[in-house]
Amino acid sequence: VKKKAGAYARQADRIAQAAVLGAGIMGGGIAYQSASKGTPILMKDIQADAVELGLKEARKLFGKQIERNKLTVEQMAERLSNIRPTLSYGDFDGVDLVVEAVVENPKVKGGVLAEVEAEVSEDTIVASNTSTISISRLAEHLKRPEQFCGMHFFNPVHRMPLVEVIRGEKTADAAVAATVAYAQAMGKTPIVVNDCPGFLVNRVLFPYFGGFSLLVEQGVDFQRIDKVMETFGWPMGPAYLLDVVGMDTAVHAQAVMAEGFPERMAREGKTAIELMFDNDRLGQKNAKGFYAYE
């Protein structure tokens, strides 16, 4: 056992360079968090605009810390320099751990995971920030499933302490240990969970969104539901939370959950959340969701 623990520590110690695929809400947040806690990170997207937006968000968050006198301008410059934006896989061969954070679509994720695996070295850990898709299922796209696991952050990344580390059927213990250590280095609280659609948190959250959606479809005012849940003691209600999550992400995740748990999650007809998505009301990301944003 001792020998094993030593091996874990060696592997865990070596997350000296990270990378994130996707510079959206989550990818940008992961890059910020890693950079702010001192682990350099490459941030890759396929769109220059997205990379710009991810960097802008990071600058904004560092700026807030300066306002609160928690950071100097020099420290901000140093931490920002830990984020290296890119549109290509150049330099990925020196990466110890990659977090995939592209759209919640099994096909797109499968393609991106296979693509990045070919660019990194053999002992690089590849992790997915998927909200719902089974890790063992995504692993089918990979040649080295033992080096693959889930690393599920919550939104907004800089504020939410929890990270689910998901062990797929073939994930090696060393990959889990290194991912746990990286989450801790980022100042987060990791929990290791077994694999299934939605893992732990979203198995609770998505039925809740489903219940909210049914009420709205029955004509209950969403603002009243939010108010009631806030009065109940939750920091925000489901409509506001859906705006934060993004309607596109919620719709994709809902489909994965319905496929995984048809008896609990499948629905006839469109849900209120799908109707929002169809009407391009994506939430905070395009400034219109259940609520309107500046």
Residue 43: helix, strand or coil by DSSP?
Answer: strand
Contact pick of 5, 7, 46, 66 for ligand NAD (by CB under 6 A): 46
Cα angle value 199/202/207 (rounded, 5°): 125
Q: State which residue, 72 or 286, has the beta carbon closest to ligand NAD.
A: 286
Find the part of the chain contacting ligand NAD (CB under 6 A) among 64-72, 98-106, 166-174, 213-221. Answer: 98-106
Least distance (Å) between residue 148 CB and ligand NAD: 15
- Contact at 8 Å (CB) between 52 and 82? no
Least distance (Å) between residue 6 CB and ligand NAD: 33
Does the protein bind ligand NAD through residue 165 (CB under 6 A)?
no
Return the amino acid letter for 48.
Answer: A
Query: What share of residues in the chain are helix, strand, coil (percent, to 5)?
Result: 50, 15, 35
User: Which pairs count as long-range contacts for 239-242, CB under 8 Å and 24+ apart, including other chains?
Assistant: 239/212, 239/289, 239/290, 239/291, 240/290, 240/291, 242/209, 242/212, 242/273, 242/276, 242/283, 242/289, 242/290
Q: State which residue, 70 or 159, has the beta carbon closest to ligand NAD.
A: 159
The half-sphere exposure of 39 on its side-chain side, counting CA atoms within 13 A, is 26
Question: Which string of x and - marks every residue 3-42 that binds ligand NAD (by CB under 6 A)?
Answer: ------------------xxxxxxx---------------
Map the footprint of ligand NAD across residues 48-87, applying CB under 6 A: 50
Residue 148: helix, strand or coil by DSSP?
Answer: strand
Contact pick of 15, 31, 95, 101 for ligand NAD (by CB under 6 A): 101
Name beta bridge partners: 164.
152, 191
Catalytic residue status for 252? no
Least distance (Å) between residue 46 CB and ligand NAD: 4
Question: Which string of x and - marks every residue 181-220 that binds ligand NAD (by CB under 6 A)?
Answer: ----------------------------------------
DSSP 8-state secondary structure symbol assigned to residue 150: E
C-alpha 157/C-alpha 28 separation (Å) is 9
Find the part of the chain contacting ligand NAD (CB under 6 A) among 63-71, 100-108, 139-147, 161-169. Answer: 100-108
Question: Which string of x and - marks every residue 214-253 that binds ligand NAD (by CB under 6 A)?
Answer: -------------------------------xx--x---x
C-alpha 55/C-alpha 32 separation (Å) is 8
Contact pick of 12, 32, 42, 45 for ligand NAD (by CB under 6 A): 45
Helix axes 48-67, 73-80, angle to 10 degrees: 150
Nearest CA among 50, 46, 49 for reference residue 23: 50
Map the footprint of ligand NAD across residues 108-147, applying CB under 6 A: 108, 112, 129-131
Residue nearest ligand NAD, CB atom distance: 24
Q: Which residues are catalytic?
A: 152
Residues at the site binding ligand NAD, with contacts judged by CB under 6 A: 21-27, 44-47, 50, 101-104, 108, 112, 129-131, 153-155, 245-246, 249, 253, 285
